[in-house]
Copies of this chain bind each other. A is one copy, B any other.
Amino acid sequence: MSPILDREYLQALLDVEIALAVAEAEIGVIPDSCVHDIRAAARAENFDMAALVEAAASSGNIVIPLVRKLTEAVAAVNSESARYVHRGATSQDIMDTAAVLRLRSVSELLTAELTRSMRASAALAREHALTPIPGRTWLQQASPTTFGLKAAGWLDMLGRSRERIRESVSRVLVVQLGGAAGTLASLGEDGPAVTDALARQLGLAVPVMPWHAHRDRLAEVAAAFGIACGALGKVGRDVTLLAQSEVAEVFEKPSSRGGSSSMPHKQNPVRAVTAVAAAIRAPGLVATMVAAMPQEHERAAGGWQAEWETMADLVRVTQESASAIADTLGDLQVDRAAMREHLALHGGVAMAEGLTSALMVHLSRTDAMALVERLSRAAIRDRRPLRDLASADPEVSRVLSPAAIERALTPESFLGSAPLFVERVLQQWER
């Protein structure tokens, strides 16, 4: 696997080498004097990235040529200092610790984007707590709900996704330092002290033992990212469905929608689709991180190497999705009138359960359901309002007054606990 190398990752690798030198000087494993030289040389801009990538392919990882080049660069200034580069470490120590550092910064960005989505969801939930919209199950109209509850559902799930990222990343923030076989043997007695000092330098925790072939923490972060993509994908899917030309209950703001190279009227929900696409890609990437886990002995022959690009892809996909949804929800346009109109479609059969509930006070559940099913089918077939059919039906009017029928078929009177649920989610968010 040729590593993906960008300047930021290269610098993270070099930062670990610097921190290692600082830590070893602090413990007395290497002389203080060399730290300055190593730090001076360890600047990403001094390295030829293309050459490193090419050399990595044959040596097996990027750190082998990087240490060679870094040692040369230090030696060019001070050959004595060059002796102390990378002392006691194995390539994987540097790569894993750099990966952890990057996950820390990624998780901050991601948390911020998710917070932005949550804020927008909260605003929609609050504004539309009582806005009726058809509930839809199996992509068919069910009883009504409110658009606010839909947004509250997004908020609640995105909140758990953010928390899951925080927790899983907090668990992966452990330094990796094990040396060649995970025993730190070449540091003699000083291994644990160097590890502690290195962790302090980088603001990471110290694990009870090195984890070269124990990758569950990384897989957990991958799963948290993947599940976040799934949650964002649910938002994206809901938005694309609500934005369909025939539904048109919400829109992405015109200025930000994608166009078409051939249709001038076309305004595609590009950002919501980005989240749907991310949710299609994430499962395969998460699967790879889990599949890579059974790593052989003290360092893998395949599994570790499979992680590199996979994790980089997953990070990027998750970030794009989080930004896309934050943008989408941030300027979402909502058409309350369209929602209300759709509740009246097909004779207003979306209110069938409301009528059944009213009837069940007087009839058995089975009888009430059979009666309303008959009326609903007639409403759809004859394109007549369920209200008219119910009013005209002797069985119904035997037990329900005209006012009761009217009330039973009014969406606002059949929202159940939707407003309460919205309230609870908002209270949780505000805490």
Contact A260 B305 (CB under 8 A): no
Cα distance A294–B275 when bound, in Å?
A: 10
A179 to chain B, nearest CB (A): 6
Contact A424 B227 (CB under 8 A): no
| Shortest Cβ distance from A152 into B: residue | B209
A189 to chain B, nearest CB (A): 8
| Interface membership of A263, Cβ < 8 A | yes
Contact B261 A135 (CB under 8 A): no
Contact B145 A265 (CB under 8 A): no
User: In the complex where A140-B266, A345-B245 touch, is A227 in contact with B238 (Cβ < 8 A)?
Assistant: no
The 5 closest A-B pairs by CB, nearest first: A135-B181, A230-B293, A185-B416, A276-B302, A137-B299
Residue in B188, B265, B280, B284 whose beta carbon sits within 8 Å of that of A416 in the complex: B188
Interface set, chain A 36-58, CB cutoff 8 A to B: 58
A419 to chain B, nearest CB (A): 9
**Binary B-proximity of A139-179 (CB < 8 A = 1, otherwise 0):** 11111111001101100110011001000000100000001
Interface centre among A141, A181, A185, A270 (most CB of B within 10 A): A181
User: In the complex where A208-B421, A270-B59, A356-B264 touch, is A296 in contact with B241 (Cβ < 8 A)?
Assistant: yes
| Shortest Cβ distance from A229 into B: residue | B290
Cα distance A140–B266 when bound, in Å?
A: 8
| Dominant secondary structure of chain A at its interface with chain B | helix
Contact A160 B217 (CB under 8 A): yes
Cα distance A266–B356 when bound, in Å?
A: 13
Cα distance A227–B223 when bound, in Å?
A: 9
| Interface membership of A25, Cβ < 8 A | no
**How many copies of this protein are present in the complex?**
4
Chain B residues with CB under 8 Å of A267's CB are 140
Cα distance A208–B279 when bound, in Å?
A: 25
Residue in B137, B288, B316, B372 whose beta carbon sits within 8 Å of that of A181 in the complex: B137
**Binary B-proximity of A219-247 (CB < 8 A = 1, otherwise 0):** 11001101101110110111011011111
Contact A276 B301 (CB under 8 A): yes
A281 to chain B, nearest CB (A): 5
Contact A273 B60 (CB under 8 A): yes
16 more CB-based (< 8 A) A-B contacts, given A139-B297, A240-B301, A279-B293: A1-B277, A1-B320, A58-B256, A137-B299, A138-B268, A153-B214, A161-B216, A180-B263, A187-B416, A219-B223, A219-B230, A229-B290, A248-B346, A280-B292, A284-B285, A287-B287
Chain B residues with CB under 8 Å of A263's CB are 142-143, 180, 352-353, 356
Interface set, chain A 299-318, CB cutoff 8 A to B: 299-303, 305-306, 309-310, 313, 316-317
| Shortest Cβ distance from A321 into B: residue | B1
Residue in B84, B135, B213, B310 whose beta carbon sits within 8 Å of that of A298 in the complex: B135
Residue in B139, B241, B297 whose beta carbon sits within 8 Å of that of A269 in the complex: B139
Residue in B183, B241, B274, B424 whose beta carbon sits within 8 Å of that of A208 in the complex: B424
| Interface membership of A27, Cβ < 8 A | no
